[in-house]
């Protein structure tokens, strides 16, 4: 068994090294040393100048191949979305597995190592599904949108080729990382293993960044003229306006999403646990997964806001379509789902307080947290422009509600989301204190300082939201969101620092009973995973839909029969179907990880048994 | 009073000044003043 694993590992190592050495020779100028860099750049430029690129084609409906009974747009939509869901999961898992493995190495607590190994095991099948769905997406694009694919692959030929080759490196590193887990234990070997984890993250991130550039090029094209003629500058085409905003958003979102999926896995295993030890193990795993999901969820609204701000900066028309036009109500649905995320994450933490008797001291505060979180949620999803009939419009006296209308604009929502984030953080801080008593002499003063920090910060957030939101102009209104965000971040960072000093050497009031949580808390973890998935589907549709009738904005017109913005109900139905398909596939992945550990004794089946 | 209220009030003033400074700096960095002038 060890021999077989070693052979697999050496083989995979050979492929990884081969792929990594092959890559530089295929990317122009990549392998140039300093002495040859200029020469390579000059020859690349000369080559580019010599190559003339065609303009973006002007297509008609007849140029789009069809297959009877197959809706091209929905096929590509679902293939892309399913691929993205799985892709997000398999990129996220190595991020927190790397961190968990490092924590295990630092604390020498093998539970962390075992948990990291279990997370990677769950994601192995998901890697295959990601690749299969990627293949389905590529085939769908080639079959149904061949001219678009040809146009994009002409511009991105180098990065698409590197992308394909990088899968060799990623697969090889993943297999060595997973199959070599028990072999590369202890001392230097453990550092080698951790480095492989880092390499896995690096290749995964590169894959995502490359694919992101093709997507964002379609939204904010670069290195092409008005007719769509490429100027040969591949890096400029990759490094287009929306590339980095989406890179940042997807990295953070992937971590939050991956945490929620493994949380759902832990919840599934908890509910099907056979004994107390299993329940304790999966309860602990679920808690860690929820922690990862919340930790990444807290900065996520800001990453999304930054992405939207950059969309507005690139094209006001695109930005207004996104949030002020036809897609505005999708953002209301998004707000409801984000509220569900925050509510279920908090509910899970509050249920978790029951693990320790020491938490009873903090129970009276929970209702105040709940009131603020629910209140913020209500403001967060209050719409501005209402969907009204003429009669309703007349009786209301306009498209906006007289009292609630002002809560529908961004300053109110920014204020609400900052409070949601702060109070979710507060829930976590209470949870963290549940089974401890601070023994430092300045504990009371420390609490007073933290209370003052929160009070001053919340007052500041309100003043920024109300004053700049309702008594100034748009420029000030938008600008004020930055100090609002920073206030929240300052509160979180300073509070964590104070608390970590305050609870050094803390006394344990009552032990944490892992496994002692009600079953409904596990359903909160399921809700987290489903809400995240649904939300990603909605936002993915919006990001793609704001291109409206363009394959590549303002450059390459979409003249396919399906080039229309569907009604919200239709779009929501497609996304819901996709979510159900994804959930079914995820349950399949979870089930596989369960059966892989099962053994059946087939008495009398094998001839050796009869002898 | 001494163990909680005084430290709370003191920290409230300090953090109030910190956040005011943060607002002033961030608005200035964006080319705007702290108070709106139409």
With beta carbons less than 8 A apart as the criterion, state whether A549 and A474 touch: no
Same domain, A505 and A384: yes
> Any CB–CB contact under 8 A between B1 and chain A?
no
pLDDT score for A254: 94
Per DSSP (E only), the strands in A124-233 are none
In a domain, A481, yes or no: yes
In a domain, A575, yes or no: yes
Give pLDDT tens digits for A543-575: 999 999 999 999 999 999 988 999 999 999 999
Q: How far is CA A494 from CA A159, A296, A452, A485, A488, in A?
A: 43, 18, 12, 14, 10
Q: Which residue of A has its CA nearest to B30?
A: A479
Rounded average pLDDT over A192-218 = 96
User: Which chain B residues are closer than 8 Å to A479 by Cβ?
Assistant: 26-27, 30, 32
User: Which chain B residues are closer than 8 Å to A459 by Cβ?
Assistant: 16
Rounded average pLDDT over A29-51 = 53
DSSP string, A89-143: HHHHHHHHHHHHHHHHHHHT-HHHHHHHHHHHHHHHHHHHHHHHHHHHHHHHHHH
User: Which chain A residues are closer than 8 Å to B2 by Cβ?
Assistant: none
A476/B32 Cβ within 8 A: yes
Rounded average pLDDT over A384-389 = 86
Point out the residue among A457, A471, A480 whose CB comes nearest to the CB of B15: A457
Same domain, A337 and A460: no
B38/A444 Cβ within 8 A: no
Q: State the total domains in chain A.
A: 2
Point out the residue among A456, A476, A490 whose CB comes nearest to the CB of B36: A476
In a domain, A38, yes or no: no
Same domain, A150 and A83: yes
pLDDT score for A16: 57
Cα separation, A513 vs A604, whole angstroms: 45
Rounded average pLDDT over A96-116 = 94
Residue closest to A182 by CA, chosen among A173, A190, A174, A171 = A190
Structural domain that includes position A393: 357-510
With beta carbons less than 8 A apart as the criterion, state whether A319 and A312 touch: yes
pLDDT score for A28: 45
Q: How far is CA A251 from CA A207, A285, A296, in A?
A: 12, 22, 9
B18/A449 Cβ within 8 A: no
Query: Is pLDDT above 70 for B31?
Result: yes
Cα separation, A452 vs A217, whole angstroms: 47
Query: Is pLDDT above 80 for A35?
Result: no
Same domain, A590 and A452: no
In a domain, A32, yes or no: no
A444/B22 Cβ within 8 A: no
In a domain, A3, yes or no: no
Global pTM value: 0.87
With beta carbons less than 8 A apart as the criterion, state whether A166 and A19 touch: yes
Rounded average pLDDT over A469-485 = 93
A456/B36 Cβ within 8 A: no
pLDDT score for A30: 42
Query: Is pLDDT above 50 for A2?
Result: no
Same domain, A294 and A431: no
In a domain, A307, yes or no: yes
Helix (H, G, I), strand (E, B) or coil at A551: strand
Range name among A29-33, A132-136, A599-603 with the lowest pLDDT average: A29-33
B18/A452 Cβ within 8 A: no
In a domain, A5, yes or no: no
Give pLDDT tens digits for A67-81: 999 999 999 999 999
Q: Look up the ipTM and state it.
A: 0.96
Give pLDDT tens digits for A506-520: 998 888 899 999 999
DSSP string, A337-348: HHHHHHHHHHHH
Helix (H, G, I), strand (E, B) or coil at A66: coil
Same domain, A96 and A197: yes
Q: What is the CA radius of gyration of chain B?
A: 15
Same domain, A505 and A583: no
A447/B22 Cβ within 8 A: no
Same domain, A121 and A200: yes
Between A and B, how many CB-CB pairs are < 8 A? Answer: 72
A72-107 and A568-595 helices cross at what angle (nearest 10)?
50
Query: Is pLDDT above 80 for A413?
Result: yes
With beta carbons less than 8 A apart as the criterion, state whether B13 and A455 touch: no
Same domain, A267 and A154: yes
Same domain, A296 and A218: yes
Cα separation, A481 vs A411, whole angstroms: 7
In a domain, A30, yes or no: no
A8 or A427, greater pLDDT: A427
Q: How far is B32 from chain A (nearest CA, A)?
A: 7
Band the pLDDT of A32: cuts 50, 70, 90.
Answer: very low
Query: Is pLDDT above 60 for A290?
Result: yes
Same domain, A337 and A389: no
With beta carbons less than 8 A apart as the criterion, state whether A79 and A136 touch: yes
Mean pLDDT of all residues in chain A? 90
Q: How far is B12 from chain A (nearest CA, A)?
A: 5
User: Which chain A residues are closer than 8 Å to B5 by Cβ?
Assistant: 448
Same domain, A212 and A259: yes
Helix (H, G, I), strand (E, B) or coil at A272: coil
Query: Is pLDDT above 70 for A39?
Result: no
């Amino acid at each position: 068994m060890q021999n077989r694993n070693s052979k697999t590992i050496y083989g995979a190592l050979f492929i990884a090294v081969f792929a990594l050495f092959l890559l530089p020779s295929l990317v122009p100028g990549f392998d140039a040393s300093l002495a040859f860099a200029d020469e390579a750049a000059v020859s690349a430029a000369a080559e580019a100048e010599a190559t003339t690129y065609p303009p973006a084609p002007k297509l008609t409906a007849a140029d789009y191949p069809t297959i009877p009974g197959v809706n091209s747009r929905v096929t590509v939509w679902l293939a892309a979305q399913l691929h993205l869901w799985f892709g997000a999961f398999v990129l996220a898992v190595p991020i927190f597995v790397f961190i968990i493995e490092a924590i295990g190495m630092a604390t020498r607590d093998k539970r962390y190592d075992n948990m990291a190994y279990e997370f990677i095991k769950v994601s192995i099948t998901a890697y295959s599904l990601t690749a299969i769905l990627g293949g389905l997406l590529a085939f769908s694009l080639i079959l149904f949108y061949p001219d678009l694919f040809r146009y994009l692959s002409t511009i991105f030929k180098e990065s698409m080729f590197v992308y394909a080759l990088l899968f060799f490196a990623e697969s090889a590193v993943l297999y060595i990382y997973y199959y070599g887990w028990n072999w590369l234990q202890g001392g230097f070997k453990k550092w080698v293993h951790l480095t492989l984890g880092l390499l896995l993250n690096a290749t995964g991130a590169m894959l995502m960044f490359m694919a992101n550039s093709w997507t964002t090029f379609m939204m904010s094209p670069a290195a092409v003229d008005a007719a769509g003629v490429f100027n040969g500058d591949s890096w400029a085409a990759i490094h287009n306006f929306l590339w980095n905003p989406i890179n940042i958003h997807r990295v953070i979102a992937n971590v939050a999403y991956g945490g929620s999926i493994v949380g759902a896995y832990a919840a599934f295993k908890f509910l099907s646990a056979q004994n107390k030890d299993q329940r304790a193990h999966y309860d602990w795993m679920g808690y860690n997964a929820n922690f990862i999901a919340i930790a990444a969820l807290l900065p996520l609204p800001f990453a999304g806001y930054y992405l939207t701000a950059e969309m507005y900066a690139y094209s006001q028309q695109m930005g207004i379509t996104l949030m002020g036009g036809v897609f505005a109500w999708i953002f209301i649905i998004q707000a409801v789902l984000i509220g569900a995320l925050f509510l279920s994450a908090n509910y899970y933490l509050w249920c978790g307080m029951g693990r320790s008797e020491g938490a009873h001291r903090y129970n009276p505060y929970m209702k105040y947290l709940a009131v603020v979180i629910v209140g913020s949620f209500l403001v967060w999803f209050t719409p501005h422009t209402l969907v009204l009939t003429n009669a309703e419009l007349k009786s209301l006296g306009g498209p906006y509600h007289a009292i609630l209308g002002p809560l529908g604009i961004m300053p109110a929502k920014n204020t609400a989301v900052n409070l949601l984030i702060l109070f979710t953080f507060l829930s976590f801080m209470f949870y963290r204190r549940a089974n401890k008593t601070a023994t430092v002499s300045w504990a009371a003063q420390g609490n007073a300082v933290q209370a003052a920090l929160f009070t001053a910060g919340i007052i500041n957030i309100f003043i920024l939201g109300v004053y700049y939101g309702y008594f100034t102009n748009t420029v000030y209104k938008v600008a004020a969101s930055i100090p609002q965000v920073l206030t929240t971040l300052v509160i979180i960072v300073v509070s964590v620092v104070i608390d970590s000093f305050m609870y050094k050497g803390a006394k344990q009031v009552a032990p944490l009973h892992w496994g002692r949580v009600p079953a409904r808390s596990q359903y909160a973890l399921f809700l987290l995973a489903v809400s995240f998935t649904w939300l990603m589907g909605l936002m993915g549709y919006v990001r793609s839909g704001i291109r409206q009738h363009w394959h590549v904005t303002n450059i390459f017109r979409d003249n396919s029969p399906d080039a229309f913005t569907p009604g919200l109900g239709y779009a929501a139905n497609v996304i819901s179907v996709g979510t159900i398909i994804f959930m079914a596939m995820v349950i399949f992945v979870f089930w596989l990880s369960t059966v892989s550990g099962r053994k059946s004794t087939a008495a009398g089946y094998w001839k050796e048994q009869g002898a | 009073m001494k163990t909680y209220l005084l430290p709370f009030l003191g920290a409230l003033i300090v953090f109030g000044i910190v956040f005011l400074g943060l607002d002033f700096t961030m608005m200035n960095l964006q080319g705007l003043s702290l108070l709106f002038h139409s």
